[in-house]
Chain A
């Protein structure tokens, strides 16, 4: 009896596990089928595959696309890939089978899209990339890439600093908190910032480290910067979260953020905007997730067969402390 139980137990466990996995995949399929009724009528059908819901930024991005689709009268089939490429490829193939009019997606990774994009092209369905690019050599596989220009965000931050340190005498010491090493936003923002501050030889980056785009990372690195360098004038963080983490380190060191140390960040998420309005940050270059309206406009254009430029930038702005106070009440994310 005992032996039998022992041998049955693992099998039962495997069955249970399989059941759980099956339920998961059924639920995932359910996700992509919302909206039903394929193309056919005169309403444009847009199939969109989102990366996932990994941050507040991404959630705002998703909401913007859903709202804009409803407003523009476009039927949206939305799929959440949960940060997995295979889910995204599956979703795109589904859209091809359902013969949607336009496919949009935010690629999880840069490579490995050629086959599925070719399938879409053969089916005559135009593809629009949003937010992130793919590295396909054949540029005819997609119509356009709609997203932020990270280099420009870095450059805008640098230009603001150059403008605001015109009257400074002596060196202006800058420390930089980089994003995840090797990621496109980290590389490009660093590059743009460096290009802009090259205009003024007083501006010197004395230390630059990766804070992995997280609050904990930003804080830990800033703690060491503050101890290693007695005179820090400016902090440039590649996103709001690292800047927010650094705030705590600066306060603990007995300095006042925003006054003793000028803080420049990128993104403009709600917590960051709050810090800017409170006078703890000095400047934020926006990296907007609200590209829904632009995406819908593009979908209509490519569906009508109009030519669109291969690279379109998201409409973005920058914020000073006063602008943040004005913009904060109706900030969506």
Chain B
């Protein structure tokens, strides 16, 4: 029993799960009905469902971000891509005679996805072909993309009234929000492609050492290009969800700062920012933690002035508790005899075990 507990404790997902459970427990103590789920209009209705639905876009963006970070890069442009794709889709639908026509909605989605592919390719070319540092390369689109989104919407909020489009954000399937299934489907697809084939390991090896991977016969540049395109497509789908959720496209605010939340989700999930190994399940858990944190602020009615501080404290706690170096130091202090020159666990680039 003790042995089994130790195995669980050393599992890399133990601490994120513990944090999530603690947050949910604290909420339940504050308001016993927090976890209650009831049936309303034939759908499940309750705070846990809200958390799942609202974290769906973040999960999508963070999935793409995980792959990008795994190659040692970073994609700051995802928030702008969310705004652009949502704006293009909503603009096309708003101009149609019949907004409920599935063909119109399908065309709108195809157009927006096409734009996202182009933007992702732009990022990919800047990083892999031209060789600009990822943080700079994607910063261009992060800033310019907001302008592009506003250009599409002409600075207005485009309100639409389209049943099929709305369903992406608010529809239901088997009593659960459709958005959850879309995010889950994307996660399973990415997991299958990276973990059931050699693709995942190739991405990790590029992140571990790009030049060595190239010498080993991997087309490193092509892999790097690919992850930025995937990231842009994930962001575009997330953009559909965000805009469908409120049936309107706001070029200024849709997906604002989502890139930072996504990076945080990836880090909480255990993927190193230096690249190398990546953990999809950890990322999903990270996204759930971030959304639960936001919902907690509203549910506990923490005043907006202190909410940011509260979030910061929790995030710092999560990151510290996640770090093996910090836990080791804490454990030594508890034992009371700090060894003078104990080797601190280094965790820069994680090695890839084949």
Which residues of A are in contact with B by a Cβ distance under 8 Å? 9-10, 13, 17, 53-56, 58-59, 82, 178, 181-182, 207-210, 212, 214-216, 219-221, 223-225, 227-228, 241, 244-245, 248, 252-254, 271
Which residues of chain B from 136 to 168 have a CB within 8 Å of any chain A CB? 140, 147, 150, 154-157, 159
Q: Which residues of A contact B254 (CB under 8 A)?
A: 216
Supplied contacts A17-B140, A178-B304, A181-B308, 15 more A-B pairs, CB within 8 Å: A10-B131, A55-B252, A59-B155, A209-B297, A210-B307, A214-B253, A216-B242, A216-B245, A216-B246, A227-B299, A244-B248, A248-B246, A253-B40, A253-B45, A254-B40
Q: Are B305 and A181 in contact (CB under 8 A)?
A: yes
Which residues of B are in contact with A by a Cβ distance under 8 Å? 31, 33, 40-41, 45-47, 50, 54, 126, 129-132, 140, 147, 150, 154-157, 159, 170, 242, 245-248, 250, 252-254, 294-295, 297-299, 301, 303-305, 307-308
| Given A13-B130, A55-B252, A228-B31, A209 contacting B298 (CB threshold 8 A) | yes
Q: Are A214 and B301 in contact (CB under 8 A)?
A: no
Name the one of A59, A220, A245 contacting B298, with C-beta atoms under 8 angstroms. A220
Q: Are A55 and B295 in contact (CB under 8 A)?
A: no
Q: Which residues of B contact A224 (CB under 8 A)?
A: 47, 50, 295, 298-299
Could you show 21 A-B contacts with beta carbons less than 8 Å apart? A10-B131, A54-B150, A55-B157, A55-B252, A56-B155, A59-B154, A178-B304, A181-B304, A208-B303, A208-B304, A209-B297, A209-B298, A216-B242, A220-B294, A223-B50, A227-B47, A245-B246, A248-B246, A254-B40, A271-B157, A271-B159
A83 CB to nearest B CB, Å:
10
In the assembled complex, the Cα of A210 lies from the Cα of B50 at a distance in Å of 18
Q: Which residues of A contact B245 (CB under 8 A)?
A: 216, 219
In the assembled complex, the Cα of A181 lies from the Cα of B303 at a distance in Å of 10
Question: Nearest residue in A to B296 (C-beta to C-beta)?
Answer: A224
Q: Which residues of B contact A248 (CB under 8 A)?
A: 170, 246-247
Q: Are B301 and A207 in contact (CB under 8 A)?
A: yes
In the assembled complex, the Cα of A219 lies from the Cα of B170 at a distance in Å of 12
- Per CB-CB distance, the 6 closest pairs between chain A and chain B, nearest first, are A210-B304, A224-B298, A53-B155, A215-B246, A181-B304, A214-B253
In the assembled complex, the Cα of A216 lies from the Cα of B131 at a distance in Å of 37
A121 CB to nearest B CB, Å:
33
In the assembled complex, the Cα of A181 lies from the Cα of B155 at a distance in Å of 23
In the assembled complex, the Cα of A54 lies from the Cα of B248 at a distance in Å of 15
Q: Which residues of A contact B50 (CB under 8 A)?
A: 223-224, 227
Q: Which residues of B contact A221 (CB under 8 A)?
A: 298
Q: Are A215 and B40 in contact (CB under 8 A)?
A: no
Name the one of B132, B253, B298 contacting A216, with C-beta atoms under 8 angstroms. B253
Q: Which residues of B contact A214 (CB under 8 A)?
A: 250, 253
B206 CB to nearest A CB, Å:
18
B281 CB to nearest A CB, Å:
25
Q: Which residues of A contact B131 (CB under 8 A)?
A: 9-10
B56 CB to nearest A CB, Å:
13
| Given A9-B130, A9-B131, A55 contacting B41 (CB threshold 8 A) | no
In the assembled complex, the Cα of A223 lies from the Cα of B52 at a distance in Å of 13
Q: Which residues of A contact B132 (CB under 8 A)?
A: 10, 13
Q: Which residues of B contact A181 (CB under 8 A)?
A: 304-305, 307-308
In the assembled complex, the Cα of A227 lies from the Cα of B38 at a distance in Å of 11
In the assembled complex, the Cα of A214 lies from the Cα of B157 at a distance in Å of 10
Q: Which residues of A contact B154 (CB under 8 A)?
A: 53, 59
Q: Are A55 and B246 in contact (CB under 8 A)?
A: no
Question: Nearest residue in A to B247 (C-beta to C-beta)?
Answer: A248
B71 CB to nearest A CB, Å:
19
Q: Are A54 and B54 in contact (CB under 8 A)?
A: no
Q: Are B156 and A228 in contact (CB under 8 A)?
A: no
Q: Are A228 and B299 in contact (CB under 8 A)?
A: yes
Q: Which residues of B contact A228 (CB under 8 A)?
A: 31, 299, 301
In the assembled complex, the Cα of A190 lies from the Cα of B40 at a distance in Å of 33
B75 CB to nearest A CB, Å:
18
Q: Which residues of A contact B308 (CB under 8 A)?
A: 181
Q: Are A53 and B40 in contact (CB under 8 A)?
A: no
In the assembled complex, the Cα of A82 lies from the Cα of B245 at a distance in Å of 28
Name the one of A58, A209, A215 contacting B301, with C-beta atoms under 8 angstroms. A209
Name the one of A55, A227, A244 contacting B33, with C-beta atoms under 8 angstroms. A227
Q: Which residues of A contact B246 (CB under 8 A)?
A: 215-216, 219, 244-245, 248
In the assembled complex, the Cα of A132 lies from the Cα of B129 at a distance in Å of 46
B41 CB to nearest A CB, Å:
7
Q: Which residues of A contact B45 (CB under 8 A)?
A: 252-253
Question: Nearest residue in B to A216 (C-beta to C-beta)?
Answer: B246
Name the one of B31, B33, B41 contacting A254, with C-beta atoms under 8 angstroms. B41
